[in-house]
Amino acid sequence: RQGIGPRRPGKTADEFQQDLLSNLFYRRGTTVESASARDAYETLSLTVRDRLAERRSRTAAAHFATNPRWVYYLSAEYLLGAQLEQNLLYSDTGDLAAEAVKTLGFSLEDLEELDIEPGLGNGGLGRLAACLVDSMATRDIPAVGYGIRYDFGIFHQIITEEGQTERPDDWAFHGNPWEFPAPDDRQTVGFYGHTEPIPGAQTRKRWVPGEIVLGEPSHMLVPGYGTETVNIVRLWRARGSEASFDLSRFSAGQYAEAVQEAVRAENISKVLYPDDSTELGRELRLKQQYFLVSCSLRDIIRRFRLRNEGWAEFADKTVIQLNDTHPTIAIAELMRLLVDEYELEWDEAWSITRRTFAYTCHTLLPEALETWPVHMFERLLPRHLEIIYLINMLFLKEVEARFPGDHDRVRRMSIIGEEPERRVRMAHLAVVGTEAVNGVAELHSKLLRETVLNDFAELWPAKFQNVTNGVSPRRFVKIANPRLSDLITEGLGGDDWLGDLERLAGLEALAGDASFLERWRAIKRANKVDLAAGDPDSLTDVMIKRFHEYKRQQLKLLHVIAMYHRIRADPSADWVPRTVLFAGKAAPAYHAAKEIIRLIAMIAARIAADPVVSPYLKVVFPENYNVTLAERIIPAADLSEQISLAGKEASGTGNMKLALNGALTIGTLDGANIEIRARVGAENFFLFGMDAYQAANAHQQGYSPWAYYEADGELRAALDTLRAGTFGEAGQRVAASLLGRDEYLTLADFRSYVESQDEVDRAWRDPQRWARMSVLNTAHSGFFSSDRTVSDYAARIWRVAPVPVPKEG
């Protein structure tokens, strides 16, 4: 059946138009006369998708013919963003589409509003996964991203004066035109049950699961930019098997009871857990993780076996990247498949497993390091626990041999923690079962080696690497900021920078050109007008990220209160007008974070109602921060708040997106801020606060927030205002937390932060100077392209090379 295929989608406006009409008629089942906006949207999406599908088939053929080492990215989260605009850009059909939809009586912008983003992630980790799959395709790396197709994504946030409330996110309510279901590739997943010895076998065992669930995949196309490659992200959805429908109960009229097993099965992919960085040991979450892993590994093995190679080749043809510990049970699952099902010897299976996996760590927060109670593991995954015990025993022997008599070290390194209850430490399993471990920014990787994973780094120094995060310049510059993109393209004499972001350095030559700076400023202003968050001539000061105490939205608020006091004390002074924009979600059960959101809402309302302060200060909180909203806020930002306590933010990626769009950063020496500052230059970055070593020692050196309260009148006034209840109970509770333990040393960094903010005001008063600094930020942020990140992974961790896909014909 080789060489047979459908008519290729046409390239001309006429052919696009014809395809659109035929999709409207034959796939949507409607006519031009009666087409609604949704009909037009669905039809346009299918027409664009068809163009990518054709490239996808050529990609699959080229990959199969080359038989390279494939990259499999395992992630419990993907924040892919809206698909239509990106796919128009990547298939170069934007102009054709705009013309064609006019004949249906709609504008492209109307239809883009119907393009809902799949919110299948919490924050940075999920968006990073999306940027990496974009860049893997762009760099022609044969790759598949595996994830879970949650029915309900990250909750929809509503902001009132009461703070945050949550609504379910039924993102696919109207269907999802970007998805290809692949029911024939469904897999069977077991849970619970018991294990049995196999007569005559040593390590092999039989697992008899007590529950069976089906995993049904669908995939989304992931095109590369400026290349022919189209990879896929394959998402699994849980389904009840036939056995989960109880026919006898159905016949007896017990309809609800008859389907309860199926409902239970389908709950596995029902909802994304909305926790960011804090662990909550729910069995359903562990079930989700194993569901993702079991389906994906079987799919990877299915693909491998299509190529008729032996197990000796597996690790040479497969690398599986674990996005944090969430999919780490894959290490035990691959061992189980190889030993129990494919009957390999333990040592051979272990050698294959270790050479196949690599692990990316995204945190340093101890409370975010995943552990599972042994009793839960034993019930849900009895065979996996046995395998983990065996892995651990052999590993601890190795430790004992290297460090004889060092029992404390053995206890610290064990995959099983004993205190206060026995728990499986997923990060330890991830380090032991992989060939490479990486952090996500230089400082983060260094702190991993020096602190949480220090024992492991001493045992295996070569295993530990850094790969600094990056972001997609297509989504976060070209699509989000078309005005700036056009100016950059004009300034550099071409748009090659979109696939080779270091070329932005060429803008340095224009940083002294007054007319260029003037246009640069005008674009920032126009973006602010579009955002409509505040006076476009005010300094737009943005803090956009998940709410977490370590990120220190509280510190920004103390600064807002200090500004408020200053203005009230001297209303006629020449204040720099600011619009302070916060956006982000708090985990629904994270009360302290929700309290901070309430406080922001309260202060925003109070300032808006104050005629003395409101000409100079406005606080806004647009609700439901997601990728789509980020794309509107980032191009309008003047100032980027990256103010986490040093040593706590692994990398940050919003910091990169904002710098690329010409925002200046005010930030601590944390995560990738350090690398941004090193590149854009210290004189173009507002630095403040203690460093990670000072921060790490503060509490044991007797840190007292009261000492800072006593010593700093402006800080004291801000805290007293909160304590007095001027901003409600939320303000009182936030103040109590800051004057209690102040875990994240907010008060210690306050003075330095305010001084740095005063420096921000001075720079802003000289518009030329500010514009110059802004251009230099963009010019020197080319390193932060996720294309570079992917090339780093490819060269140093995956050891894979690009596989070009030939053009058609």
Name the site residues for ligand 26M (rule: CB under 6 A).
Answer: 122-125, 128, 273, 275-277, 279-280, 285, 362-363, 368, 440, 469, 649-653, 671
Q: Which of 362, 444, 449, 648 is catalytic?
A: 362
Cα separation, 482 vs 643, in Å, equals 28
Cα separation, 776 vs 780, in Å, equals 6
Residue position matching structure tokens 């990247």? 321
Residue 664 CB, nearest distance to ligand 26M (Å)?
Answer: 20
Q: Which of 219, 326, 423, 551 is catalytic?
A: 551
Q: Which of 545, 552, 559, 788 is catalytic?
A: 545
Would you say 583 and 544 are in contact if contact means Cβ atoms under 8 Å apart? yes
Would you say 70 and 144 are in contact if contact means Cβ atoms under 8 Å apart? yes
The beta-carbon contacts of 339-347 under 8 Å, at least 24 apart in sequence, are 339/203, 339/204, 339/387, 340/204, 340/205, 340/206, 340/207, 340/383, 342/311, 343/204, 344/311, 345/203, 346/203, 346/390
Phi, psi of 175 (to 5 degrees): 90, 170
Residue nearest to ligand 26M (CB): 124
Residue 279 CB, nearest distance to ligand 26M (Å)?
Answer: 5
Residue 287 CB, nearest distance to ligand 26M (Å)?
Answer: 12
Q: Which of 428, 528, 657, 780 is catalytic?
A: 657
Residue 780 CB, nearest distance to ligand 26M (Å)?
Answer: 20
Q: Cβ closer to ligand 26M: 292 or 368?
A: 368
User: Residue 52: which of 178, 185, 181 has the closest Cα?
Assistant: 178
Q: DSSP 3-state assignment of 330?
A: helix
Residue 370 CB, nearest distance to ligand 26M (Å)?
Answer: 6
Cα separation, 309 vs 311, in Å, equals 7
Residue 285 CB, nearest distance to ligand 26M (Å)?
Answer: 5
Q: Strand 416-417 relative to strand 423-425: parallel, antiparallel, unpaired?
A: antiparallel
Would you say 24 and 31 are in contact if contact means Cβ atoms under 8 Å apart? yes
Q: Cβ closer to ligand 26M: 361 or 607?
A: 361
- Residue 455 burial by CB count (10 A; 0-12/13-18/19+): exposed, middle or buried? middle
Residue 296 CB, nearest distance to ligand 26M (Å)?
Answer: 18
Measure CA 785 to chain center.
15
Residue 567 CB, nearest distance to ligand 26M (Å)?
Answer: 34
Q: Cβ closer to ligand 26M: 120 or 143?
A: 120
Residue 650 CB, nearest distance to ligand 26M (Å)?
Answer: 4
For the record, the structure tokens of 222 come out as 């992931």
464-473 burial: b if 16+ Cβ within 10 Å, else e? bbbbbbbbbb
CA distance from start to end of the chain: 18
Q: Cβ closer to ligand 26M: 122 or 668?
A: 122
Residue 752 contacts by C-beta under 8 Å, 6 or more apart in sequence? 688, 689, 690
Residue 705 contacts by C-beta under 8 Å, 6 or more apart in sequence? 738, 739, 740, 741, 742, 746, 747, 748
Cα separation, 229 vs 62, in Å, equals 9
Q: Cβ closer to ligand 26M: 442 or 610?
A: 442
Would you say 128 and 652 are in contact if contact means Cβ atoms under 8 Å apart? no
The DSSP code sequence of 74-126 is E-S-EE---SHHHHHHHTT-HHHHHHHHHTTT--HHHHHTT----EES-SHHH
Give catalytic status of residue 653 as yes or no: yes
Give catalytic status of residue 362 as yes or no: yes
User: Residue 147: which of 125, 163, 116 has the closest Cα?
Assistant: 125
Q: Cβ closer to ligand 26M: 299 or 549?
A: 549
User: What residues are annotated to the active site?
Assistant: 362, 545-546, 551, 653, 657
